[in-house]
Amino acid sequence: MKIAFLLGSGISLKAGLLNVNDITKKILTGEGVSHHSTGYYFMPPPYSHIGIPCYNVKRILTFINFTKDKLDTYYEKYDQLHLTNYEDIYFILRQLHDEIYGEHENLIVSDFLNDLQIDNETMLKVKDKMFYKDFEIEELINESMIYINNVVSRLLYNPSKDFNYLNMFCEISRDKKIERIDIFSLNHDRLLELYFDMHKIKYCDGFDEREGDIKPFNIELYDNENRMNLYKLHGSIDWLKYRIAGMDWRGDFIGKPVISDVQHTKDRNGNYLTPNENTTEILIGTFNKIIDYNSGIFFDLLSHFVTTLNNHNYLIISGYGFGDKGINTKIIEWYYKNPERKIIVIHKKPDDLKSSSRGAIYGKWDKWIKEGSLIIIEEWFEISWNKIQSILYSD
């Protein structure tokens, strides 16, 4: 038997990792965050010893809170019970960025950008130009996006609590009836990898053997006869984009550093490799993800999601709120290709999950349950494999 999982951030909460709203609060306050040469970190500002504050963070906080206020007003106008989060803010920033750099022409965004009234003295200008420089609007937008990426990555780096509630995966790894396990994760955190490594569960995550200080990503590894595959469809906080020295974009590749000093990694020949950008390779935002799925590593991963999922008749979903339009579309297309296909949802409060789902899933939920093809297990993800086995093996 082959089984597939689709997992979202809900499975990581018991391990002490923050939810979207808590991460948003941290981003909007910026407490403890400062700008350094390679990005934004939870550490004192580089000039704090002489009393110079971090002007970059101060200006970014003013701008993203300004953006949040506009989003709050928008949701209130349409009576939407939605708490603005960092993904919403990032989506607005991304649209502004793409308009400025000609990535996607959009008259409405252009008009919004032209009408954008910001306080130059608090968002663009600095008092102490010996240590910081003034921003142009495009720099403010770019730095705000980098800031959000960096803070999310730092906050999700390590779980703070025991995560042996994932022991179902140990049970699955010992189940000889299961010939293949494909795990599609929408999470940026490293929780699953840490658990698998701790328990010596063999899996393929798309990264090759170590070459110097880097493990390079190789999509073809998923084509091997692996019993367990982990596909991180939204990237990961430990993925960085590198460029081989002396090459143009043809030398770009995604790598996972195996040393802590990611800014001074070397290739197999001892040559230094520097990350192209001060960001990790993760997808942030809302509807911009639909565009991002069509380029780079994320296109390769989504393509494998589609083709690999078609080899399965069961999809086990947990921790995912059905809020990603791109992923929802692929689930629906997969479901309707074969009448034998079934979805197993593991969630303690399924009515809440249904209510918060996007329309494409919400509108089919009751029909799928009536047909017996959507099966609900009213528990959190810390569930025994036996409960799922009883469903899989009864058919």
DSSP string, 99-159: HHTTSS--HHHHHHHHH----HHHHT--S-TTT--PPPHHHHHHHHHHHHHHHHHHHTSS-
- Which residues have C-beta within 8 Å of that of residue 67, sequence separation ≥ 6? 89, 92, 93
Q: What is the pLDDT of residue 274?
A: 83
DSSP 8-state code for residue 20: H
Question: CB of 196 within 8 A of CB of 161?
Answer: no
Task: State the Cα–Cα distance between residues 43 and 137, nearest whole angstrom.
Answer: 26
Residue 242 lies in a domain: no
Report how far apart, in Å, the C-alpha atoms of 309 and of each of 6, 44, 176, 223 are.
10, 46, 21, 14
How far is C-alpha 165 from the chain's CA centre? Answer: 22
Based on the domain organization, do 195 and 324 belong to the same domain? yes
Q: Please check whether residue 253 lies inside any domain of the structure.
A: no
pLDDT of residue 82: 83
Report the share of the chain in percent with pLDDT over 70.
99
The answer on 346 and 386 residing in a single domain is yes
pLDDT band per the 50, 70, 90 thresholds, residue 271: confident
Q: Is 299's pLDDT higher than 90?
A: yes
Residue 112 confidence (pLDDT): 86
- Whole-angstrom Cα distance, residue 155 to residue 32? 12
Domain co-membership, 97 together with 184: no
Q: Give the helix/strand (H/E) hosting 374.
A: strand 374-377
**230 found inside a domain:** yes
Are both 42 and 12 inside the same structural domain? no
Higher pLDDT, 147 or 83: 147
Report the pLDDT value the prediction gives residue 79, as an integer from 0 to 100. Answer: 65
Does residue 203 belong to any structural domain of this protein?
yes
- Verify that 201 and 71 share a domain, yes or no: no
- Other CB atoms within a 10 A radius of the CB of residue 44 amount to 12
Tokens of 153: 């990555």
The verdict on residue 48 lying in a domain is yes
Instruction: Kindly tell me if the per-residue pLDDT of 249 is higher than 80.
Output: no
Q: Is 104 among the domain residues?
A: yes
Rounded mean pLDDT of 150-160? 95
Residue 366 CB: number of other CB atoms within 10 A? 11
What residue has token string 């409405």?
108
Rounded-to-integer distance, Cα 323 and Cα 66, Å? 25
Write down the pLDDT at residue 395: 64
Report the pLDDT value the prediction gives residue 243, as an integer from 0 to 100: 85
Find out whether 237 and 282 touch, Cβ atoms under 8 Å: yes
Domain tally, the chain: 2
| Rounded Cα–Cα distance for residues 190 and 210 (Å) | 18
Question: Does 44 share its domain with 71?
Answer: yes
Whether 96 and 118 map to the same domain: the answer is yes
For residues 17 and 382, what is the distance between their CA atoms, to the nearest angstrom?
A: 15
308/351 same-domain check: yes
Please tell me whether residues 68 and 179 are part of one structural domain.
no
Q: What b/e readout covers 257-267, taking b as 16+ CB neighbours within 10 angstroms?
A: beeeebeebeb
Output the six-digit token pair for 315: 């999809």
Residues 153 and 41: their CA atoms lie apart, in Å, by 10
Locate all alpha helices (DSSP H) within 267-393, ordered by sequence. Answer: 288-292, 296-309, 325-336, 350-356, 359-371, 385-392
Within-domain flag for 245: no
Joined tokens for residue 337: 């290709």
Read off the pLDDT of each residue in 38-48 and give the average, rounded to a whole number.
94
Tokens of 294: 């069509």
Same structural domain for residues 142 and 166?
no
* Summary mean pLDDT of the chain: 93
140 and 31 within one domain: yes
CA pair distance 353, 356, nearest whole angstrom? 5
**Whole-number Å distance between alpha carbons of 329 and 275:** 33
Strand partners, 265: 273
Beta partners for residue 229, in sequence order: 182, 204
Both structure tokens of 115: 């009408």
Q: Secondary structure of the chain: what % helix, strand, coil (to 5)?
A: 45, 15, 40
78 pLDDT tier (thresholds 50, 70, 90): confident
* Better-scored residue on pLDDT, 40 or 245: 40
When pLDDT is cut at 50, 70 and 90, the band that residue 80 belongs to is: low
From 155, 176, 210, the end of a domain falls on: 155
Length of the chain: 395
Tens digits of residue pLDDT in 194-207: 999 999 999 999 99
Among candidate residues 155, 179, 202, the one where a domain is terminated? 155
In a domain, 73, yes or no: yes
Question: How many of the other CB atoms lie within 10 Å of CB of 339?
Answer: 10
Residues 143 and 276: their CA atoms lie apart, in Å, by: 15
Angle between helices 325-336 and 296-309 (to 10 degrees): 20
Q: What is the DSSP letter of 14?
A: G
Residues 218 and 315 in one domain: yes
Q: What is the CATH number of the domain that holds 206?
A: 3.40.50.1220
Q: Using 50, 70 and 90 to split pLDDT, how confident is the model at 328? A: very high
pLDDT digits 0-9 by tens, 1-29: 899 999 999 999 999 999 999 999 999 99
How confident is the model over 305-316, as pLDDT tens digits? 999 999 999 999
The predicted model gives 350-362 an average pLDDT of 95
Structural domain including 135 reads 20-155
Calpha distance 17→23 (Å, rounded): 9
**What pTM was computed for the model?**
0.95
Give the C-alpha separation, 380 to 240, whole Å. 32
- Residue ending a domain, among 88, 120, 155, is 155
